[in-house]
Structure 1
Amino acid sequence: MSPFFPKDAATGSKCNIGSRVLLSILAVVVVVGSSGMVAVVESGIGVNWGTVTLHRLSPHTVVNLLKDNKIGKVKLFDADPDSLKALMGSGIEVMVGIPNDMLSLLSSSPTASDSWVSQNVSRYMVKNGVNIKYVAVGNEPFLTSYSGQYQSYVVPALTNLQQSLAKANLAGIIKLVVPCNADAYESSLPSQGAFRPELNQIMTQLVSFLNSNGSPFIVNIYPFLSLYGSSDFPQDYAFFDGTTHSVIDGPNVYNNAFDGNFDTLVAALSKIGYGQMPIIIGEVGWPTDGVISANLSAARAFNQGLINHVLSNKGTPLRPGVPPMDIYLFSLLDEGAKSTLPGNFERHWGIFSFDGQAKYKLNLGNGLLKNAKDVEYLPFRWCVADPSKDLSTVANHFKLACSYADCTTLNYGGSCNDIGAKGNISYAFNSYYQLLKQNVQSCDFDGLGVVTFLDPSVGDCRFLVGITDGKSSGICLDGRLVIVLLLIFWVSYIYLV
């Protein structure tokens, strides 16, 4: 397989508990359906709103952030009631997700399907309710690493859910879709794109279902992962400013990985008879921290280049003048509770930091990003290593603090990688301190920690201050859990010592 078109890998954004804007609308001509009919649709940039976080902004604050930035499309990874309630009356177009672990039940039980639609869709489809347009059935269920465990459930679940929507008189309003990872297809050149052999039959069934119900094909494309996963991948090919490593495919020339990947899917769809299927990009983005290739300047260059490319209406060599129907950036906010198994970058995909502050200048087609308003911060104080103390016994404290809090910025390539040993200790102490809502005992660390009112941030290395408005998705930080965590911390410390 060519290094220019590697399979995408799982990003961990596919967390089933929650984790990727209609702006600057352009009227574009898109070919839809296998019949070749032409329709005019609105092409927009959307955003994924994930909630696998240690410091959760209140859903109402997030919805106001979306509205202030004229973000009119949002994709959820589940049907979180708090998020959906906050979206009521906003007019924002919503894609609601169904986690992969629900597919088995929904595929075998029409009653369960009816119940899910009633509880998570119908109840919100009222006057001044939620503008639900899509239901995402599973999230990358054909991912190679899943070894086919969800594969047989997808089409039966779609069938049951379609019937449930019809019973609720919503089948003509809401479309069922299945977000797929780009590893569902493969090729050495875009024009030779084909679905993986073991998926060919089920993909034909899936696309036939989507086509018959007027639904688009949704795919997640990550040039960052191609660069991260292959030392042979040319860095400039991941971006949109031109490359010295163009891919020549017959009469077509590819100057960026996104277009090459997109057209590989177009070719794969053509091979099963659906070359005109409308396509939405369910996830695409660039992380800002945690590894050497994830930083603010690279993220801004990629995301701004992508937005400009899509809104220019240029399309791709196989679909000139026809960009994707919509693109959902991954993601809206950083998610500090996500697994780092795919890489330390996994917690840093947001165009906004966890507290809704824009990380870099980004024009979504309607002006630069605006920060979240009315964010309720904890007092502006930090926990750092006491400079007067001997820190030779700090290792276990450091390890335990980072096992609860997020310390991925301290790793090689991270924004806090070069702040020195004492700086690393202070960063870990403070991250834990803020996670426990600045509980006085959480900065003790056997006498090695001290509270300061002077911001210890250095350069791009930001020592965070926690927020108070909202419930944590990953950890419920009420008083009882603070006590439990502290007890676990000290018992574990005594045991390790």
Structure 2
Amino acid sequence: MFKSKGIGSMRIYDPNHDILGALAGSGIALTIGPLNQDIRSMAADYAAAQAWVAAHIQPYVKTVNFRYINIGNEIIPDPLAQFILPAMNNVQKALFSSNINHIKVSTSVSASVLGASFPPSNGHFHDQAAAILNPIVQFLVAHGSPLLVNIYPYYAYASQPDQIPLSYALFNSTGVVMRDGNLGYQNLFDAMVDTLVAALEKAGGGNVGLVVSEIGWPSNGGFGANADSARVFNKNLINHASKGTPRRPGVPIETYLFAMFNENQKGPAEIEKFFGLFYPDKTPVYPIRFV
């Protein structure tokens, strides 16, 4: 289905071997990672990281286009976060020892790691997150890996609809809505990305790439959640992501839409069931083109 729709990249949240087998020879770039609960053992024991790579990467490395291994999804600054960097180091070491040099190791964070988000140039990691992230940023610098970030303009808009115009959240503004020094922002996505870019710069990662590893707009289940807004947001995002942001103009932003399918068991919030582009029977929730 990904190939028929022209979708060239995929992110999965657990190393499902049925999916890995199905991706063989497809050329689809894959982001994969261990479950959050497995990170502690991979941090404490190199052999555990080595075993994970041996089980989930090595058997498929010649046929599956692995792009990133994501160690930890939105667990900074949770107490488990202290194990992310040791696990990243062990996985990187295991890859190198297997002569696998092309897969980048990273972690994914949410906007909750920020201590300030307005204006974008003021972006920085709050103290608790910085204690974990600053050393991780140095790892990313050393290995040429990007930081993966999960951002949701929908939630920012839905929490402050009196302050954030819907057109600004949907990429429909016709002019600059917010100025930050000499930079002008016409959409909320650019502002959110550049806030994280500014935080990276302050952490010594000015040259670290940024991948939007989750983003989407729900089609039901809450304020401002409807199929028309979801369609407009995702269509405009697809058209915009290659253009860069005011802080990094002309630098395309690798972006992963969340999610492929509506999930009726997703939760705990009702709205989480409705981020899919397709229903489980593969019919589209709304019309959308990916190329």
Q: TM-score range by the shorter chain?
A: over 0.9
Q: Is the 8 A contact 1:243 1:256 kept in 2?
A: no
- In the TM superposition, residue 281 of structure 1 has moved relative to its aligned partner by 0.6
Aligned to 1:108: 44
What whole-Å deviation, never above 9, does each CA across 1:328-373 have from its counterpart, x for those lacking one? 111111111112x2x31101111111111112121212xxxxxxxx
Q: Is the 8 A contact 1:95 1:133 kept in 2?
A: yes
Aligned to 1:295: 226
| One of 68, 82, 107 as aligned partner of 1:134 | 68
Distance of 2:99 and 2:140 partners within structure 1: 18
SS in 2 for 1:219: strand
Counterpart mapping for 1:22-421 below 5 A: 65-126=1-62, 129-142=63-76, 148-170=78-100, 172-185=101-114, 186-234=116-164, 235-242=166-173, 246-311=177-242, 313=243, 315-324=244-253, 326-339=254-267, 341=268, 343-365=269-291
Distance of 1:345 and 1:87 partners within structure 2: 30
Distance of 2:27 and 2:117 partners within structure 1: 40
Q: Is the 8 A contact 1:194 1:264 kept in 2?
A: yes
TM-score (norm 1): 0.56
What whole-Å deviation, never above 9, does each CA across 1:136-186 have from its counterpart, x for those lacking one? 11111115xxxx22121011101111111112111x121111011111123
- In the TM superposition, residue 236 of structure 1 has moved relative to its aligned partner by 2.4
Higher helix share: 2
Distance of 1:219 and 1:246 partners within structure 2: 24
- In the TM superposition, residue 243 of structure 1 has moved relative to its aligned partner by 6.5
What whole-Å deviation, never above 9, does each CA across 1:392-446 have from its counterpart, x for those lacking one? xxxxxxxxxxxxxxxxxxxxxxxxxxxxxxxxxxxxxxxxxxxxxxxxxxxxxxx
- In the TM superposition, residue 245 of structure 1 has moved relative to its aligned partner by 8.4
Q: Is the 8 A contact 1:137 1:154 kept in 2?
A: yes
- In the TM superposition, residue 292 of structure 1 has moved relative to its aligned partner by 3.5
Higher relative contact order (CA 8 A, sep 6+): 1
Query: Across the two proteins, how many residue pairs are aligned to each other?
Result: 289
| Letter of the 1:137 counterpart | I
Q: Please list every run of 5 or more consecutive structure 1 residues that lacks an aligned counterpart in the other structure.
A: 1-64, 366-497
Backbone CA RMSD of aligned residues: 1.6
Q: Is the 8 A contact 2:149 2:212 kept in 1?
A: yes
Distance of 1:105 and 1:232 partners within structure 2: 46
Q: Is the 8 A contact 1:107 1:156 kept in 2?
A: yes
Counterpart mapping for 1:3-14 below 5 A: none
Q: Is the 8 A contact 2:28 2:65 kept in 1?
A: yes
Distance of 1:69 and 1:323 partners within structure 2: 21
Distance of 1:216 and 1:294 partners within structure 2: 31
- In the TM superposition, residue 323 of structure 1 has moved relative to its aligned partner by 2.8
- In the TM superposition, residue 244 of structure 1 has moved relative to its aligned partner by 8.3
Q: Is the 8 A contact 2:176 2:184 kept in 1?
A: no
What whole-Å deviation, never above 9, does each CA across 1:47-76 have from its counterpart, x for those lacking one? xxxxxxxxxxxxxxxxxx111112111011
Distance of 1:300 and 1:250 partners within structure 2: 32
Q: Is the 8 A contact 1:238 1:256 kept in 2?
A: yes
Aligned to 1:486: none
| Letter of the 1:215 counterpart | S
Q: Is the 8 A contact 1:108 1:157 kept in 2?
A: yes
Distance of 1:337 and 1:83 partners within structure 2: 20
SS in 2 for 1:70: coil
| Letter of the 1:331 counterpart | A
Q: Is the 8 A contact 1:237 1:243 kept in 2?
A: no
SS in 1 for 2:213: strand
What whole-Å deviation, never above 9, does each CA across 1:112-147 have from its counterpart, x for those lacking one? 111111001111113xx222121111111115xxxx
SS in 1 for 2:3: helix
Q: Is the 8 A contact 1:134 1:176 kept in 2?
A: yes
Q: Is the 8 A contact 2:260 2:276 kept in 1?
A: yes
Distance of 2:219 and 2:118 partners within structure 1: 29
